Amino acid sequence: MALSFSHVLLSTFSCAILATMRTSWLLYFLGLDMCLFFLYKIARRDFFYWANFRGIVRLVGSLLLRFCTKFLVNFTMLIQMRHPQEVGGLPFLISILYSVVGTFGSVHLYANHYDGGNSKIDENTLHLVVGSLFAMWFISILTFASVIKRKYLHTFYDTVTASTYNRDWYLRLREDQDDVKSDLLLKHPDMYSRWGDQHVMPWTLNNWERWEEEKPIWFTDSWIEHVPNEYIPYDWRVKYKKTKGRVDNPKKRRGSVGVTELLVGEEER
């Protein structure tokens, strides 16, 4: 609580100082941070948000949700947002450092470049305020670091993407946890294209006959509809084509690269 509160004060103070001088400086400060974050996500093929959106809604929704979570981290330091499916460990750490360093930078700019006449805040007063806020923030950081379990410290600087996290989660599941696996695939359809051929396809092809016989509660027409054709046994695919109007996946032209491939791409090694 104290950690988030102190970070809110630091971030708000720096923004207020920049806005007092020039609104454009504030926009540059916030915009640069946000642009670097999006470039990082795109470079890591980790742009799309984990929610199961489709079509243009997926692109727009991911853009808005990524923006909101990043903005939330900038001003609240909400530690839950370091999760790989949200901002991620390393971007989270960089965002925090960027905000703190930006506070001192804004004070320096104010002291040396702002000509506000009698309304200008005394430089010593500024340094006292910023120093006090930083001291409270730093003490909160040390307190938090002293009580957190050591095995979680790496999550604050990890470069693990959502896809890698989901893959590791999937591989940790037991063979009898079909319901959890099915739910994971439904929420994260990118798993099929990223590493599905290696880990998911054997699971679906080897168990499809049993699922059709046992009819588990999760094995619905809606779930089947989201499974790519190549992950369904051929005989059942033909049957679905006759009884449920299922169509074959359109063949992709060789050499063509769409937005999804650009923003998601292949699994990093």
What's the pLDDT at 241? 85
Q: Which of 78, 88, 92 is nearest to 50 (CA)?
A: 88
| Other CB atoms within 10 A of residue 83 CB | 18
CA distances from residue 84 to 26, 44, 67, 151, 164 in whole angstroms, order as listed: 28, 12, 15, 16, 9
For 143-187, write each residue's pLDDT tens digit.
Answer: 998 999 999 999 999 999 998 999 999 999 998 899 999 999 988
pTM for this model (two decimals): 0.82
What's the pLDDT at 258? 53
Q: What is the DSSP string of 151-187?
A: GGGGGGT----HHHHHHHHHHHS-TT-HHHHHHHHHH
What's the pLDDT at 52? 75
Reported as type and span, the H/E element at residue 1 is none
Residues 6+ apart with CB under 8 A from 130: 10, 13, 103, 104, 107
What's the pLDDT at 187? 85
For 249-258, write each residue's pLDDT tens digit.
Answer: 554 444 444 5
For 8-64, write each residue's pLDDT tens digit.
Answer: 999 999 999 999 888 999 999 999 999 999 999 999 999 998 877 778 998 999 999
Residue 230 reports pLDDT greater than 80: yes
Q: Which of 128, 9, 16, 138 is nearest to 76 (CA)?
A: 9
What's the pLDDT at 269? 39
